[in-house]
């Protein structure tokens, strides 16, 4: 039988589950949604039925932020859906606070197994503890070297460890997920698909037998995944890693139901991969054109307007700086830009 043609993204579940409620999206697969206090105002989480030898159970995927609203929503889910059925394991796709925030709380509550990749587990602990180059002072030095004015310095330092305010604690110990590994959940094989560029070792979970892929933040239906250079690896080329990672989703059957962390479940992963490749190609071209039109070499901060076309607050500025540097590095490593450090210590780029 020929696979059905999908020529535009399909959204088979247009109705978002209410806080504390779940929507079944595939056999044994349930969607729930938690609020986020940001411009991106929600995260999707997943509950998977996980019976073993006829004994019912659950596997949870991702946690939500550590705040009272999310704890209350979980409490409601526990009362109305999970009940007394044991939670066997908690899987966290990556270290970002909306995904890992309540990991310790859920693990303690359920006494369940906790699964993550090593890159994500150790990064979570490093960020939580201001270790390994993740402090606000080190972030400031990175932004300064990329031309950001001192305007945001005080606010950035006052903000301190932003991660710690959204993650209450982290499990001390984990079970390691590895790319290509197969987990058996509810008797079905789920393949671990590790992607890079958004976080060090982000996990998607793909069940070809159910025709479902929990994509996490690696493949979202509307917004493009944040791809940033961070302070601890200031010479990184995460856009290369991201663009190398996303073809994995194109190889999945077109009718695969993609379960993203933000937005609606969708079909048409290959179309979304095409669109993201085009989006980044356009962004790179925009940046190159801005540098070609400039009368002098420019730093990343000077290019934010070109890349984002709107006024940004501190939170958005830090993300935007990471993204701008990621695009500049990608062009630089491709030989399309040159760069030099000025006497002020700021890195500036020009068309090669
Ligand atoms: Zn993320």
Domain ranges (residues) in the chain: 23-268, 279-351
Choosing among 3.10.20.30, 1.10.10.10, 3.40.50.300, 2.40.30.110, the CATH entry for 279-351 is: 1.10.10.10
How far, in Å, is the centroid of ligand 1 from the Cα of 352? 33
Looking at residue 16, what DSSP letter applies? P
Name the nearest CA neighbour of 108 among 32, 61, 172: 172
Confidence of residue 6 (pLDDT cuts 50, 70, 90): confident
pLDDT at 150: 87
Quote the ligand 1 centre to 215 CA distance (angstroms). 11
What letters, b where the CB count within 10 A reaches 16 and e where it falls short, cover 270-309?
A: bbbbeebeeebeebbeebbebbeebeebbbbbbbbebbbe
- Tell me the CA–centroid distance for residue 285 and ligand 1, in Å: 25
pLDDT greater at residue 310 or residue 24: 24
Residue 137 CA to ligand 1 centre (angstroms): 23
How much is the pTM?
0.95
Burial annotation 61-98 (CB, 10 A radius, 16+ → b, else e): bbbbbbbeebbebbeebbeeebeeeebbbbbbbbbbbb
Residue 274: what pLDDT?
Answer: 97
Residue 49 DSSP label = E
| CA–centroid distance, residue 97 to ligand 1 (Å) | 8
Instruction: Please report the pLDDT score of residue 186 as a whole number.
Output: 97
Distance from residue 351's CA to the centre of ligand 1 (Å): 31
DSSP 224: P
Cα 174 to Cα 169: distance, rounded to the nearest angstrom: 14
Judge whether residue 50 has pLDDT over 90.
yes
Q: Report yes or no: 243 and 197 within 8 Å, Cβ to Cβ.
A: yes
pLDDT tens-digit readout, 267-319: 999 999 999 999 999 999 999 999 999 999 999 999 987 777 778 888 888 88
Q: Indicate whether 5 pLDDT > 80.
A: no
317 CA from centroid of ligand 1 (Å): 17
- Architecture in CATH for domain 23-268: 4-Layer Sandwich (3.60)
């Amino acid at each position: 039988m020929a696979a059905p043609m999908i020529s535009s993204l399909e959204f088979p579940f247009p109705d978002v589950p209410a806080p504390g409620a779940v929507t079944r999206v595939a056999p044994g697969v349930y969607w729930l949604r938690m609020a986020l206090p940001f411009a991106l105002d929600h995260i999707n989480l997943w509950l998977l039925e996980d019976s073993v030898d006829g004994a019912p159970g659950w596997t949870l995927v991702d946690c939500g932020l550590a705040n009272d609203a999310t704890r209350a929503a979980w409490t409601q889910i526990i009362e109305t859906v999970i009940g007394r059925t044991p939670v066997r394991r908690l899987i966290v796709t990556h270290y970002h606070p909306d995904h890992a925030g309540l990991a310790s709380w859920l693990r303690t509550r359920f006494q369940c197994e906790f699964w993550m990749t090593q890159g994500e587990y150790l990064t979570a602990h490093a960020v939580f503890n201001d270790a390994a180059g993740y402090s606000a002072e080190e972030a400031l030095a990175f932004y300064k070297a990329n031309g950001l004015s001192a305007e945001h310095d005080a606010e950035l330092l006052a903000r301190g460890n932003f991660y710690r305010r959204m993650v209450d604690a982290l499990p001390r110990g984990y079970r390691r997920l590895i790319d290509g590994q197969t987990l058996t959940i509810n008797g079905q094989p789920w393949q671990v698909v590790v992607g890079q560029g958004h976080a060090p070792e982000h996990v998607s979970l793909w069940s070809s037998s159910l025709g479902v892929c929990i994509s996490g933040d690696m493949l979202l239906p509307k917004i493009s995944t944040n791809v940033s250079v961070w302070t601890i690896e200031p010479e990184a080329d995460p856009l290369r890693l991201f663009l190398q990672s996303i073809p994995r989703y194109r190889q999945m059957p077109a009718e695969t139901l993609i379960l993203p962390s933000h937005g609606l479940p969708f079909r048409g992963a290959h179309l979304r991969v095409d669109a993201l490749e085009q989006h980044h190609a356009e962004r790179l071209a925009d940046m190159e054109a801005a540098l070609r039109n400039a009368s002098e070499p420019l730093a990343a901060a000077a290019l934010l307007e070109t890349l984002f076309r709107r006024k940004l607050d501190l939170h958005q500025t830090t993300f935007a700086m990471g993204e701008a540097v990621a695009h500049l590095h990608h062009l630089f490593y491709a030989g399309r830009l040159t760069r030099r450090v000025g006497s002020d210590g700021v890195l500036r780029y020009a068309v090669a």
